[in-house]
Amino acid sequence: MNKKLQDALNKQINNELYSAYLYLAMAAYCESKSLPGLSHWLKVQAKEETAHAMKFFEFLNDRGARVILQAIPQPPAEFASTQDVFEKTLEHEKKVTAMIDRLYAMAQETNDNASEVLLQWFISEQVEEEKNATMIVETMKMIKPDSAALIMLDRELAKRE
């Protein structure tokens, strides 16, 4: 495997783990606002991000490449509102999409077909991630911060498996 691509995939493991950490911080914020459904949705999202990191981890190992874990930066703990949480979620998912796109381009440049196949899965996953975050943000824009509609959304998001 190309060393530059290997290093970039290792960095993506860190990025995915940071995403999990960020969503846990957001979940903690929502818990502090007595919105357990929003918190649940974010905790499920955190688990997904950890699974994504492990997908890269296993891929590198399967290819005989060395996994080198890096320090995970501390995520923010405070947010302006629950709407801000989900706007930042969407913004973050767009950043991750850009990261995956760069990795895919790098795989293409180095003719690494196996990495391209892996990254195609992540490209499709990011479409779903952005769609889900967008739907929540758009719903939150329609409701007042302390309204019954927020409680209804909280209950709906609690159903995520």
Q: What is the CATH number of the domain that holds 38?
A: 1.20.1260.10
Q: Is the pLDDT of residue 100 over 90?
A: yes
If one counts the domains in the chain, the total is 1
Which residues span the domain enclosing 142?
A: 3-157
Mean pLDDT on 122-148: 94
3-state secondary structure the chain: CCHHHHHHHHHHHHHHHHHHHHHHHHHHHHHHCCCHHHHHHHHHHHHHHHHHHHHHHHHHHHCCCCCCCCCCCCCCCCCCCHHHHHHHHHHHHHHHHHHHHHHHHHHHHCCCHHHHHHHHHHHHHHHHHHHHHHHHHHHHHHCCCCCHHHHHHHHHHCCCC
Q: Is the pLDDT of residue 145 over 90?
A: no
Mean pLDDT on 70-97: 97
Q: Is the pLDDT of residue 77 over 90?
A: yes
Q: Is the pLDDT of residue 73 over 80?
A: yes
**Whole-model pTM?**
0.95
